[in-house]
A and B are shown apart, each in its own frame.
Chain A
Amino acid sequence: MTVRDRLRGGPTILAMGGGGFTMEPDNPALDDFVLSLVDRPEPRVLFLPTASGDPTAHITAFYARYARAASATHLSLFRRHGSARTLADIVLEQDVIYVGGGSMRNLLAIWRAHELDELLVEAWRRGIVLAGLSAGAMCWFAGGVTRSSGPLEVIEGLGLLPGSFTVHADGEPERLPVWLAAVRSGELPGGWAADDGVGLLFRGTRMVRVVSSRPGTAALRADAVGDELVRHRIEPELLGVDPTRPPTPATLPVPDDIRELRELRDMRAAGGLRRI
């Protein structure tokens, strides 16, 4: 254990239902919150874009958001970085590891193929903050709900956190009934659903805070009790934006999928989208 390890705050995971730099180009609230979890100037933040195949748009969005306040790097498992350093060297020197969204099935399979799953468990034990959204959030739990093979289905995670987690509860409402049915049947343990913008903070395996970058959002806790499903809504703390933070550069690239979504939304708003 290094001095750096001893200074850390114990195992910490921030699981986001959506949001952050890949989904909210104009709202740094969740990214600021990620950085606030590390008590040191210029923390080392590593981005793992594995779940979506390391798209350039996500990587550039990461640097645009994090490079000013942190020592930011990314790790590709598809493109060579020309470094002789091992994955262990790279992963275990970080203060934060941020996992992007995408295909959870691919994420876990590829991590396991590289034995990166074991390194991330070790990083968690050492108190390196694990943060992520969507597939990059569900992966830490016992299980979640994914579209990795097309249709929605239950998927097992790494199990660091002993509940289940489902994401985009407001943005993709069709996920929620699949998750609730799995919790009711016992296929998944009880757990949480999070709207886009909502983050659940875990210290060890205990959920200690719920935060959000967007007003009007919520988290949901659901458990099976006998044949009944017991649910309750959790109101998040609405995050403010740090007023001392430099403004986001105007040239921040917008990822293709976000741009498409926005175009669709604008077309809908203009009444121009016809249903076929």
Chain B
Amino acid sequence: MEAGNPLLDDYVLSLAGRERPRVCFVPTASGDADHYVVRFYRTFASRCEASHVTLFRRERGGGAVEGDLEAHLLQQDVIYVGGGSVVSLLGAWRAHGLDRILKLAWKRGVVLCGLSAGSLCWFQEAVTAFHGAPTVVRGLGLLPHSNCVHYDGEPERREEYRRFVGDGVRPGYAADDGAALHFVGRDLRRVVSSRPRARAFRVEPRDGDVVEDPLPVSYLGDMARDLAVA
């Protein structure tokens, strides 16, 4: 949902394997912000069967899914989790049983995607910097790694992430804005990006230090151009 840049959205939809995929937006981390829900529909409604889930206004719908959230989410091709606070996200999900439903959806092959808090939440451990200094929180643990986002945007996070991994946080993956880590099962399949210079790293302890190994990144703009030529 980057303004004027559909590359990552196109990539996500390509994973659904269906002409008009069912895509459900979960904006919990933003407090179900109206403007974010509108942006989702503007981006996806013309190309997908788009819906959204609200955990803040369940009593009065507002166009969101009503009734059985589990049945609805398990029918999706893609579940798209928006950004915001990962701590608030996980707290609200656990209170409504969404943590369990999303794990089930993942096991059944629903594509789970998201940015920022919507990326951190799938990992065992995640670096968040919402109030005060960066800290590590436990995510849903579908992916047995750690994760750090906005790696280019906030230099402090980069230092802290490396320090955390040095102090016993499990090894993991860091992504710049615009870079996306695509996992199949628990393993990283590839890294794609919507911006030519976006990078991603494997961060792990080695020989008493913490090393940051750059990962090969496929810029989706080039891939799209190649496809057009072919």
Contact of B96 among A52, A77, A105, A147 (CB under 8 A): A105
Find the A residue at minimum CB distance from B29.
A78
User: CB-CB < 8 A to A84: which residues of B?
Assistant: 132-133
Indicate if the CB atoms of A53 and B132 lie closer than 8 Å.
no
Indicate if the CB atoms of A53 and B56 lie closer than 8 Å.
yes
A71 within 8 A of B: no
User: CB-CB < 8 A to B91: which residues of A?
Assistant: 106, 109-114
User: CB-CB < 8 A to B94: which residues of A?
Assistant: 109, 113
Indicate if the CB atoms of B58 and A147 lie closer than 8 Å.
yes
User: CB-CB < 8 A to B96: which residues of A?
Assistant: 105, 149
Indicate if the CB atoms of A113 and B132 lie closer than 8 Å.
no
Label chain A's interface by main secondary structure: loop
User: CB-CB < 8 A to B66: which residues of A?
Assistant: 150
Contact of B92 among A79, A106, A147 (CB under 8 A): A106
Indicate if the CB atoms of A78 and B31 lie closer than 8 Å.
yes
In angstroms, Cα B142 to Cα A266, docked, is 51
Indicate if the CB atoms of A106 and B30 lie closer than 8 Å.
no
- Chain A: minimal CB distance from B222 (Å): 33
A86 within 8 A of B: yes
User: CB-CB < 8 A to A147: which residues of B?
Assistant: 58-59
- Chain A: minimal CB distance from B91 (Å): 3
Indicate if the CB atoms of A86 and B30 lie closer than 8 Å.
no
Residues of A whose CB lies within 8 Å of any CB of B are: 50-55, 76-81, 83-87, 102-103, 105-106, 108-114, 147-150, 256
Residues of B whose CB lies within 8 Å of any CB of A are: 29-34, 55-59, 66-67, 84-85, 87-88, 90-92, 94-96, 130-133
- Of all A-B residue pairs in the complex, the 6 with the closest CB atoms, nearest first, are A53-B31, A113-B91, A109-B95, A147-B59, A78-B31, A109-B91
